[in-house]
Structure 1
């Protein structure tokens, strides 16, 4: 992977040779490269033969045998030598010759018209057409007829004279003339070969244009650019035969970007944009090119001249292509240039209004079309600017630079806040802009609580949570997903907002957002009446994920409790979703919400003792019912021969079948991890005897230790949620043993060993020893060590670690408590 911030690292000037070194020729371009190489070699040979023929004629023949050469040979040699002097054989490849032909044809045609009309230098418009009509035959004569006549003259004359061989009787005259005619014949034949090959260049051009998939709309333009590439390659190859090595259309187009001429720059930008659209332009081809080239592209984004808006849009496409690989700090003015693309101004005001009937009458259909074209172009510029920011923000250092640009953040949120001003006709353009604005805010908010604190504050104050249901009305759910994630980042903190009156508005926004995501997750659309249909499944899932994250924080839980007391039985509906959800993913999300909400509800002082005990018992009961279904081997037969556990659970339509797909397995593991977490939290918040008594009364014959053992054995896999299950189970085992140790340390020293182990925790600890649960935990720790380390690293890097300790450390704590338990048993037995 190319390192961030090394764009254009080939040097300040780059271009030329460096482009050839870093660009590999495409197979289709090799056709042109080989074609140009063959054409150039033939032309070089033709030129070499011409030089030899001219030198031989002037030095040897006309200089040494001029008195002896036959008259016919003298004139033939003279004409051929004059043709060499006039560079007739270089004519089609010589730009200077073609330019002189053009000047000559203009002069001759103008003179003929003046003579015919006897007019002054100022001619009428009709004479201009006559001038063009006269100039064309002259150009055809000089560039076609004259170029073909002399090679044919060389071939015919040389062939006839070589066949007749009547050159005189002098000792060196005869071989001298034969050598000259042989040179002239070879040159003529090779030149005709070159001429034929040169006229077949359209075949190579079409082949390359088809290889780059220029569609019917851009086919003529593509052929035009490929032909320019061929001509440029040929001119370079005439100077250096190695110029075709590694040369391709990308290097050619990149070189055009260095030009200050608008047409050349536009041509290079159009070629690169086509290659980008066809996924034929690797990032490395531009990243390793000239640094000045990338800097120029970036600065062009801020150009406001109306004549350069098309070029500006093309430059934005290219910058977008390389944005994720460049560093803002290495390219001064990057944020200012991008901000110019998205900044609301009069230039892009056409996006949000249509012409009035009066202006349409004045300007007519053409004026209306221009206005719509401007609006379309401006919307594309805004979209490209936001896409560039989205890619830049993928790099943490770039994201920090963007967060420091307060004015840029205001411009981004301005498009989201423009919702009330958007008319129906412009909704599609606006929705794409808003979706990308949310995407940029999400990336920036993910950088962390401290670095993104100012952004979170702006979201708190500028955006309204009541807009989220409005977005859910549209068929495309992406904008709703982005909006939920943006608001979620803003409210996943307790720092902003307090009980004072000055933050009452913020508290109301927090409460409103909690209500919005709750209603979306529970599909309670009747509360808003904004959409005749239910939200998309992915919107419901995203709302549930956001609610689960919100429930980590105290103030959000308070908002949820308020909704529970004053409007709906929220907890009951979430518990119902956990048990009877439409699929495992939905149930797992509901369980994640409840496991965090229960932690808040079960705090001392939040409810009365009776309410708290009732709720804790309900939590344990529901969690165990589901786990018994997932692990039926933990059930035992009671004294009356009836199987207890999952089969007597009421309220379920059917027992869940574990899917073989990886996705369903992950959702299943996530649900189980949440259930184990609930049991662990309840165990820590009630007295031990009450916890065991609740299990025994509600689930008679249930083997709790067997469940712990199966949770470890069946989830010893290298995945995140399986790791969560094993860790929570390990913590629960550690707490059970620790509680028993604490109880045994407080009892009378005269208590017998059998009595010491007769408590509920003591029975469970003894079963943990008998069933070798700790051995299973040790094996799981070995299997999952790599996944555990990586998970800890990622979570700590994101400052949201779920675990302060690794599974290996938890295993050591369990072993320590178990050894301590055995020591206490021996001590009590000794006494």
Structure 2
């Protein structure tokens, strides 16, 4: 079942039914979080509003790809330890029994065969132990792991590109220069020097295996991978020689004659057979181990298969090799089961804390890939989230500015962006000392860093600056802040971080050429969008924290002007316009911010232009609705903004918009707020135009329901105050609706909404206001209300009224702007009129 009811199997034998309330089109176009309170969301609720059920059975016990490697390492370790045990036994047998007991009586060939076998076995054992060490060492450095050529190619290409750009820039400025241009270029070089100094790689105090100069002119011989290959082939040759010598002696059985009665030679043949058998078994087991190794690594391509399943990509082979050798080392050097306890996530976390940049990069890549993999992200983020040291390390990496560490920094930012998606983890991340400052370091604004003195200076700096991907870090930093801002406490920390809010607001800056040009990168628009999303979330924060944030945001001089530019030039980007408008709506909760928005030139005009713009496609009508909500808030209890709106001459358009399904709810709100202000000002004449809306309003009250009916009731109570009794009677004649029918409808509304829902919190208030006007307009209407049971309904209102009906606007579940006239006072006024009649 979908839409009206969703039936799903949760996987535990039970079924969950999700009931979705049907909404009328008018309700959809009038949804708001300002004029109605917002219910607290369930922590188990998903982004789309559905409730997340328990994870499917078996998801926690799913076998991860690296288990193939740990099992492979276990089997290799078993063969290795058996072979080593046999070799040890054979060595002891030879030294104690044969060479110790029969050395004098041994045949000459046996003596030398045993001696050679022991020597080559000793060589093999020595090579084996050190081969594992050098193989392991080869994976410590990405350079030694075969990536050196790619890194050199990238470095050389960057160098060539840098040189070509420098030549191009120098040829551009080869013409004679004025004194001002020479000063400008001098300042540019100074800025370039500062940038280069900031990006200069720090010296390291440790050696990597590829840097150790054991021999000055044969450095390649001592590369880890070359040494391990040498030891590998040495073992194969030793084992093959051992097999050959042992087989020769076991087949020929030429151990010499054993004379009768010679006790010294009585057990010599058996002892030699045992030794050669042990040597043969050990060598055969070793060769079997190597064959098993080669089959899985070379032919079956186990490492490549695991890398593919982990979705690590081409660079992932370094991580897979390093993990495998670590697991194999633990199985060989310790218990054979030690390697089974390893997993790639814990392995990556260990490498992340290493002092080697290569190991840090390997660890960051592992965690990044698993955090982005839908199959393993939950377990990965859970393990990272419970490790405070790892999270602190990730936060610390955000501050790294060295270009050589760019990938590590980017990977750390991507992991933290995934980590912040979980509420518990977001609280832990924000709770790390200095976390917000580290996230702020990801945000680089060129406008704030480089003075826009001249086009030449900017081009020169771009030519000489390092190729550092600032836009990616900007996007990641804003994404992390966006996810952290979902929590109320984190919003306060973001606002309290020095210099962070101005940085975010600076990303909202959009020039006309950026918004209207066709040639614009997706990242440029995405940066603006994410900055708007973060500011929107901060501005809509509830409670005292939200109030302080809204004030701080509105006090930054670029906030409103940046949004105005988006409204003015962003017709191709309605999503950006909608976000900017929603920020204005939230800021309008404060009186000072409302005045700042109103007095910023062109903001109200642009909002009305968007609100009335019929050329906007129907799929993008949300931006028109958002504009209407913002205007309704800006004219709410703001005398100066009401004057500004009336000067724009939009009353007639607002009256006409009452018939538009998209605009009528917010048009009614705007008109009601204008009327509530106009009766006590000198704009009474201008607002007389609103009386033309009376027939539409009365018809809507009689025919509509829910939110549209509520706003029309509120508007009717104000519109009729601008009309005489004769004019109001003409309205009822024009619509064909009798006043008795309207009175009956008001009683029905009060009976239906004994407990007003969240979507229509003011419907009873507006109903009573309209009833009071009707009784004051004509005394005979008092008898009509008496006969309909108005007094009983008013007494019921007194008994069932709540704080929900006492406020005009809401911030979440917190009521703001309490009504000047309480609903109890309205009830007393209505009862007094009924008593006088």
Kindly provide the CA deviation profile for residues 480-536 of structure 1, in whole angstroms up to 9, marking residues without a partner as x. 2232233343444323587xxxx8xx7531x621221111110178xxxxxx99995
Q: Tell me the CA shift for residue 191 of structure 1.
A: 1.4
Kindly provide the CA deviation profile for residues 371-409 of structure 1, in whole angstroms up to 9, marking residues without a partner as x. 6x726x122223333333333333322322222334232
- Report the Cα distance in structure 2 between the residues aligned to 1:354 and 1:41, rounded to whole angstroms: 69
Query: Map of 1:805-820 to 2, 5 A cutoff?
Result: none
- Report the Cα distance in structure 1 between the residues aligned to 2:779 and 2:628, rounded to whole angstroms: 44
Which residue in the other structure is 1:664 paired with? none
Query: Map of 1:396-411 to 2, 5 A cutoff?
Result: 396-411=488-503
1:248 alignment partner, one of 330, 339, 343: 343
Structure 1 position 229 matched with structure 2 position 318: no
Which residue in the other structure is 2:394 paired with? 297
Aligned to 1:313, the other structure's residue is in SS state helix
Residues 520 and 415 of structure 1, relative CA distance in 2, 3 Å threshold: same
Which residue in the other structure is 1:633 paired with? none
Query: Map of 1:396-545 to 2, 5 A cutoff?
Result: 396-417=488-509, 419=511, 430-447=524-541, 448-459=546-557, 463=561, 466-474=564-572, 476-496=573-593, 507-509=598-600, 512-523=602-613, 536-545=620-629
Query: Map of 1:167-186 to 2, 5 A cutoff?
Result: 173=268, 175-186=270-281
Q: Tell me the CA shift for residue 619 of structure 1.
A: 4.8
Structure 1 position 675 matched with structure 2 position 712: yes
Q: Tell me the CA shift for residue 623 of structure 1.
A: 2.1
Residues 64 and 156 of structure 1, relative CA distance in 2, 3 Å threshold: same
Kindly provide the CA deviation profile for residues 187-246 of structure 1, in whole angstroms up to 9, marking residues without a partner as x. 2232122112222235221111211234xxx42x12232222212222233334444445
Q: Tell me the CA shift for residue 690 of structure 1.
A: 9.7
Which residue in the other structure is 1:639 paired with? none
Conservation of the 8 A alpha-carbon contact between 1:351 and 1:426: no
- Report the Cα distance in structure 1 between the residues aligned to 2:370 and 2:120, rounded to whole angstroms: 45
Residues 194 and 139 of structure 1, relative CA distance in 2, 3 Å threshold: closer
Number of residue pairs aligned between Structure 1 and Structure 2 = 682
Q: Whose Rg is larger? A: 1
Conservation of the 8 A alpha-carbon contact between 1:550 and 1:556: no
- Report the Cα distance in structure 2 between the residues aligned to 1:356 and 1:817, rounded to whole angstroms: 72
Which residue in the other structure is 1:35 paired with? 72
1:261 alignment partner, one of 356, 372, 378: 356
Conservation of the 8 A alpha-carbon contact between 2:65 and 2:306: yes
Aligned to 1:228, the other structure's residue is in SS state helix
User: Unmatched 5+ residue regions in structure 1?
Assistant: 4-22, 102-121, 361-366, 526-531, 631-667, 744-756
Residues 65 and 329 of structure 1, relative CA distance in 2, 3 Å threshold: same
Which residue in the other structure is 2:665 paired with? 588
- Report the Cα distance in structure 1 between the residues aligned to 2:459 and 2:662, rounded to whole angstroms: 57
Q: Tell me the CA shift for residue 467 of structure 1.
A: 0.9
Q: Tell me the CA shift for residue 445 of structure 1.
A: 1.9
Kindly provide the CA deviation profile for residues 295-334 of structure 1, in whole angstroms up to 9, marking residues without a partner as x. 3332333334344344333333333333451457633333
Which residue in the other structure is 1:64 paired with? 101
Query: Map of 1:372-771 to 2, 5 A cutoff?
Result: 374=467, 377-417=469-509, 419=511, 430-447=524-541, 448-459=546-557, 463=561, 466-474=564-572, 476-496=573-593, 507-509=598-600, 512-523=602-613, 536-555=620-639, 557-564=641-648, 568=649, 570-579=650-659, 581=660, 584-601=661-678, 603-605=679-681, 608=684, 618-630=692-704, 669-679=706-716, 695=732, 698-701=735-738, 703-704=741-742, 707-708=745-746, 720-721=758-759, 724=760, 727-731=761-765, 759-768=780-789
- Report the Cα distance in structure 1 between the residues aligned to 2:487 and 2:658, rounded to whole angstroms: 38
Conservation of the 8 A alpha-carbon contact between 2:750 and 2:767: no
Query: Map of 1:67-86 to 2, 5 A cutoff?
Result: 67-86=104-123
- Report the Cα distance in structure 1 between the residues aligned to 2:42 and 2:676, rounded to whole angstroms: 45
Aligned to 1:463, the other structure's residue is in SS state helix
- Report the Cα distance in structure 2 between the residues aligned to 1:51 and 1:254, rounded to whole angstroms: 38
- Give the number of the structure with larger relative contact order, counting CA–CA contacts within 8 Å between residues 6 or more apart: 2
- Report the Cα distance in structure 1 between the residues aligned to 2:451 and 2:696, rounded to whole angstroms: 59
Q: Tell me the CA shift for residue 174 of structure 1.
A: 5.1
Higher mean displacement: 64-73 or 231-240: 64-73
Identify the structure with the greater helix proportion. 1
Residues 704 and 356 of structure 1, relative CA distance in 2, 3 Å threshold: closer
Aligned to 2:548, the other structure's residue is in SS state coil
User: Unmatched 5+ residue regions in structure 2?
Assistant: 1-40, 44-59, 139-212
Q: Tell me the CA shift for residue 38 of structure 1.
A: 1.6
Residues 682 and 60 of structure 1, relative CA distance in 2, 3 Å threshold: farther
Conservation of the 8 A alpha-carbon contact between 1:557 and 1:597: no
- Report the Cα distance in structure 1 between the residues aligned to 2:554 and 2:458, rounded to whole angstroms: 43
The alignment's TM-score, normalised by the length of structure 1, stands at 0.67
